[in-house]
Amino acid sequence: RMLSGYKPKNDIKDSYKVLELEEGCSLDDVRNSYHNLAKKYHPDSSSGMADSKAFIRVEEAYRVVLGDLAAKQKPEPGEEEEDQFKSKSLQHRHYLSFEGVGIGTPSQREKQYMQFRVDRATEQVLEYRQQRLESRYAGSDLSRAQDVRQSKKVKITQAVERLVEDLIQESMAKGDFDNLSGKGKPLQKFSHSPHIDPMTHNLNRILIDNGYQPEWILLQKEIRETIERLRKSIVASRRKLGQPMTLSEQKQWGRICEQFAEDIRKLNKRVDNFNLVVPILSRQMVHFSTDKEILRARKTYEAVVEKVSDSDTKENGGEERKRFGWKSSLLKWLKL
């Protein structure tokens, strides 16, 4: 306890180096250096060099340097006179107070005890901050990456907005907007619903009139066209193979089904992208099943084959009726 305020010389020198100071500096220099380094390394600061570990080292160095400066301070004149008249021998009764901290006269020991309390409180605050930082930045890498991505996104958005505004101002200065129809006339209010913002309605109407379509509309149209094309292609491939299929034709059909499954997998990725951007939950789409689509293609092929066979039998029956129709009519006449 008596030597609790003691710090090794090497530790003191390292502390001065951490604070970027030299021994013999003033207390104001120490405080200014600490404030500057705290702004630089504090985790809550907006500095790009924020680091909790470096801030902890600065805190520890600051406490060590303060203790060194306090130990180097000369005693006051009143204390020197008191030291001359009082005995230098240790009085055990003195050490029953101040938690047994410090050496020298009672006034000196009181100052040492106050410094000890300050150091102890600083250590407790430091430990609390360290625990809070560890719990807060447990996933520091992920949170920092997310913060960097978010900041980049905001910067890009702001840069694009400034670029668009600059282009608009440049075009206005050149007079590109002078020949527009309806210049100087107020926009007509096309919406009479009190639940719709007139400005939003007018902007949407202008976009629609100029052929603009939202991204999810284009994705939905593309998905429907793609699945119809895949269905027609697999039915056409099945019709080319014929019925019944030989061994080589069965192998070819297997390769066609594998390629069809790969196309369906790519199409399902587009479905996922569509579900992310569609604004209405009821408009979301489900994945296409490869087995169901192949079964559907087989049924479609069987229906086409059956239809073709029915048309062939009807044509054959018509030819036979034309061939033997005069005999049946003669028999009917004879019966009459």
Which numeric CATH code is attached to 12-72?
1.10.287.110
- Residue 274 is predicted with a pLDDT of 92
Cis peptide before 244 (omega within 30 of 0): yes
Taking the C-alpha atoms of residue 130 and residue 132, their distance in angstroms, rounded to an integer, is: 5
Are the C-beta atoms of residues 70 and 103 closer than 8 Å to each other? no
- Residue 286 is predicted with a pLDDT of 92
- Residue 3 is predicted with a pLDDT of 45
Find the farthest-apart pair of alpha carbons in the chain and give their distance in angstroms, rounded: 166
Give the angle 290-292-294 at the CA atoms, nearest 5°: 70
Say what the alpha-carbon torsion angle 143, 146, 152, 154 is, to the nearest 10 degrees. Answer: -100
Say what the alpha-carbon torsion angle 39, 42, 48, 52 is, to the nearest 10 degrees. Answer: 150
Are the C-beta atoms of residues 277 and 219 closer than 8 Å to each other? yes
- Residue 287 is predicted with a pLDDT of 94
- Residue 157 is predicted with a pLDDT of 82
Give the angle 278-280-283 at the CA atoms, nearest 5°: 75
- Residue 87 is predicted with a pLDDT of 45
Taking the C-alpha atoms of residue 65 and residue 73, their distance in angstroms, rounded to an integer, is: 12
- Residue 140 is predicted with a pLDDT of 59
User: Two tokens at 285?
Assistant: 């789409």
Give me the average pLDDT of each 10-residue run along the chain (336 residues). 49 83 82 84 76 85 85 61 49 58 79 87 87 72 71 81 84 79 66 68 77 85 93 90 84 92 94 90 90 90 81 62 62 70
Taking the C-alpha atoms of residue 69 and residue 96, their distance in angstroms, rounded to an integer, is: 27
Instruction: Enumerate the domain spans of the chain.
Output: 12-72, 214-310
- Residue 90 is predicted with a pLDDT of 47
Taking the C-alpha atoms of residue 284 and residue 291, their distance in angstroms, rounded to an integer, is: 22
62 half-sphere exposure, CB direction, 13 A CA radius: 21
